Structure 1
Amino acid sequence: MSTSYFYKTQASGPVAIVTEYYSRKDAFLAALETLGEHFGGKVAPMRDITSNYAGGVKLSAGQEHDVHWRRPDDYGYRALRVSAKPLKGSSKEERTAARAEHQRLVDLWNKHCPASLSNHEYWHRLEVNTGNILLCGGVMFAHNGTAFFELGFQINEADHAEKVAAGKPTSGWIDGAVEITSSEYQGGWSSKRDEKKVVND
């Protein structure tokens, strides 16, 4: 975000929403670890502009994986193929076995792969315009009963109410939000990061 605006709120609604998002994200990441255990390699946590989702599995570049997995990317992660790709010259029995094994892998993936986690669902619940999030960006976190936000656009309670009354598009409004300085926002983030480090240590 080229220009950032910083806000915080201690209103129970927004704090609960942001806290829930990160609780679900922790559960999502834990599920990725479990998924990786089933396939013998770490699963890449992927993210696009609207959600978090499971990426490929960190497997070796050995040809023994090529039947079921695509070639590794630059980081060594492989995506499961849509269907098995038996080696050239495989017998009919080997091809049948490869297809059966591939179906087992697909079923295992579908059983343990967590659903993608939409961050836009939570921005929407916060009543922030997700179109603005797509265009300008936004970050949120909660710490010690306060939710903090860094947005690439301004939100204003009076402007929001006026536009809603007139039926016009609005950037949205977060209940109880007050604008803060960048240093206060960074202070909240640093405090959260340091507390998490102590817990993990």
Structure 2
Amino acid sequence: MKTAMRAASHALALGVLLVSGAVWTISQQHPLYANPGKLLRLPAAIVDAAQPTEQAFRIGEVLNQYTHDRALAFRIADALVAQADKEHIDPALLVGVLLTEDATLDPHARSSVGARGLMQVMPLHGGKWGCGSSDLFDVESNICHGVQILKAALDGSPNTRVALLRYNGCVRGRNTPNCHLYDDKVLRHAGRAAAEMRLVKTQKSE
């Protein structure tokens, strides 16, 4: 029964991604979610084809739904796009992780186990990733640390789902209740964000 429910949950998550269409890029020609089971690491050519300013604007508009601080939403968007471009990771996946970790977009969020900031980074990681600052309550530093941790998980995992579970620390499924559902939550947020990003009006699209 549990296996069947898990399979149904996976099907629903993948269905959301397929319904939302390809993850948004400026050219809208690259089906980045065509195979969600594989790593969402993008070739440099695909990332370089995007225009960071417009991409950040679209993400900022999506994130603005989660906070009353518009300036913060766009600051977060700029940081996400910068890291996505640097590490060739789909920005929609980063949005998915961010919203799963801290849907209120509170840079000073702190979990019961001590994880800090937007990407809920544990203090032991502070200053280890060449992010220019060890302050995990700083927007840019926190996102840099979070993306570096995710990148390491992607590099060492057979697929995106396993990488997401490792990011969450859900290696054996015993650290937190229902942590095995973490990957589904991230992919649902990512799929929804991708669909919403495509609908954002920009000067170029008008």
Name whichever structure is richer in helix by fraction.
Answer: 2
TM-score greater than 0.5 by the shorter chain: no
Please tell me the TM-score bracket, short chain as reference: under 0.3
Q: TM-score, normalised by structure 1?
A: 0.28
Going by fraction, where is strand more abundant, 1 or 2? Answer: 1
Greater RCO (Cα-Cα under 8 Å, separation 6 or more): 1
